[in-house]
Amino acid sequence: MSAQFESTPWIWNDGEFIRWEDATLHVMAHVVHYGSSVFEGVRCYSTPEGPAIFRLHDHISRFFDSCRVYRMEPACTQDEMAAACHELVQRNELEECYIRPVSIRGYGAAGLNPDASPVETYVVCWPWGAYLGAVALEEGVDACVSTWNRPAPNTYPALAKAGGHYLNGQLMKMEAAANGYAEAIALSPSGLVSEGSGQNLFLVKNGILTTPEPDGTLLMGITRDSIIALARDEGIEVREEAIPRERLYTADELFFTGTASEVTPIRSVDRIQVGGGGGGAGPVTRTVQERFLRVARGIEPDPHGWRSYSADAPSADAPALAGVEVA
Ligand SMILES: Cc1ncc(COP(=O)(O)O)c(C=O)c1O
């Protein structure tokens, strides 16, 4: 099997560690047909004190909220999932990685009502560098406004991170790539700026940092929340408000935030250069990007308590291994 990601030896599955190659599904699993999964994306950073998972408990809490919206009940508790994440990183001997908890509706139901399909929960991790490329973190990316809108409130629940929602993001991302852009920015059904295909978005104008307000069309990103907190720590004024599309073209600085994308500057939108042009991160973007990465990597103190080390993990019974011995 060829893939664009690096596999790791172990995957956690409902209390057991199984081999990567054994984590397979039947084609009739409900999730395959109807996108019935919820998931999280979490990053673990290498720090001087060892691997630290960034805002693990906030991610797990959002995961369980997503499950609740979709009436899914994982077999584990939040503490057990947190312990599983730490143990998985250790077993896979990774210092730094991306962690993907996912609950799926499995094999059972053929129709839309998923009640006959069991909820199966996995945690996977693998090494994953900068989502939009290491150069993008420095130089920024070219983005477009997508012809695809985000779903209206009360269609797909945007606060839930569910697999099926990402069909919308895929349309955006594929269109952007086909037209030579690295990323896409979606408008809400009312024509206001919403978010990227898998990122939130911030703009800077006259030193004020602004991001779209929660309007039921965007995910409440944990990185978004971190950037708001770090910017306020720095004395930067932050606003959450409605953003008309044209403010993308008149901003001094623009950047995406997300667990995968971290803080990625945007250097142009629809081929209009951001700010003075020349690419790269502007001063406010650079300030929050640096602080974010320094906190995540344990280079500076963690005033908000965002780093989670395995020694601090809640004690859960050591999960069993599925019929295998580990050295
Ligand atoms: C649609 C969407 N918006 C925003 C984000 C950013 O969220 P977070 O910072 O919690 O990763 C993501 C990433 O998961 C996403 O998929």
Instruction: Indicate if 161 belongs to the active site.
Output: yes
Q: Of 30, 59, 161, 307, which one is the catalytic site residue? A: 161
Residue closest by Cα to atom 4 of ligand 1: 199
Look-up of token digits 């269109």: 175
Our CA dihedral for 131, 70, 169, 120, rounded to 10 degrees, sits at: 50
Q: How far is the CA of 221 from the centre of ligand 1 (A)?
A: 5
Residue 327: its pLDDT value, please?
Answer: 28
2-21 in b/e burial notation, b at 16+ Cβ within 10 A?
eeeeeebebbbbbeebbeee
Q: Which two tokens stand for residue 96?
A: 């730094």
Q: What is the pLDDT of residues 276-321, one digit of tens each?
A: 777 778 999 999 999 999 999 999 999 999 999 998 776 544 444 4
HEC string for the chain = CCCCCCCCCEEEECCEEEEHHHCCCCCCEHHHHHCCEEECCEEEEEECCEEEEECHHHHHHHHHHHHHHCCCCCCCCHHHHHHHHHHHHHHCCCCCEEEEEEEEECECCCCCCHHHCCEEEEEEEECCCCCCCHHHHHHCEEEEECCCCCCCCCCCCCCCCEHHHHHHHHHHHHHHHHCCCCEEEEECCCCEEEEECCCEEEEEECCEEEEECCCCCCCCCHHHHHHHHHHHHCCCCEEEECCECHHHHHCCEEEEEECCCEEEEEEEECCEECCCCCCCCCHHHHHHHHHHHHHHCCCCCCCCCCEEEHHHCCCCCCCEECCCCCC
Going residue by residue through the chain, which has 327 residues, state the pLDDT in tens, using 9 for 90 and above. Answer: 678 889 999 999 999 999 999 999 999 999 999 999 999 999 999 999 999 999 999 999 999 999 999 999 999 999 999 999 999 999 999 999 999 999 999 999 999 999 999 999 999 999 998 888 888 998 999 999 999 999 999 999 999 999 999 999 999 999 999 999 999 999 999 999 999 999 999 999 999 999 999 999 999 999 999 999 999 999 999 999 999 999 999 999 999 999 999 999 999 999 999 997 777 789 999 999 999 999 999 999 999 999 999 987 765 444 444 433 332
- Token representation of residue 304: 């908000």
Nearest CA to ligand 1 atom 16: 198
Residue with CA nearest ligand 1 atom 5: 199
Ligand 1 centre distance from Cα of residue 115 (Å): 28
User: Among 53, 99, 165, 223, which is best to mutate for testing ligand 1, by the most ligand atoms less than 8 A from CB?
Assistant: 223
Strand bridging mode 119-126 / 141-145? unpaired
- Cα 302 to averaged position of ligand 1 atoms, centre (Å): 22
Question: Are the C-beta atoms of residues 110 and 200 closer than 8 Å to each other?
Answer: no
Phi, psi of 188 (to 5 degrees): -80, 170
Residue 318: the pLDDT is 45
d(CA 237, ligand 1 centre) in Å: 23
Residue the block writes with tokens 């993308």: 248
For position 319, what pLDDT does the model report?
Answer: 45
Q: Which atom of ligand 1 is nearest to the CA of 260?
A: 11
Q: How far apart are the CA of 116 and the centre of ligand 1, in A?
A: 30
What length does the chain have?
327
Q: Which residues line ligand 1 (CB under 6 A)?
A: 41, 169, 195, 198-200, 219, 221-224, 257-259
Beta bridge partners of 254: 203
Q: Is residue 138 exposed (0-12), middle (13-18) or buried (19+ Cβ within 10 Å)? A: middle
The Cα 158–Cα 144 span in angstroms is 21
Nearest alpha-carbon partner for 174 in 200, 155, 147: 147
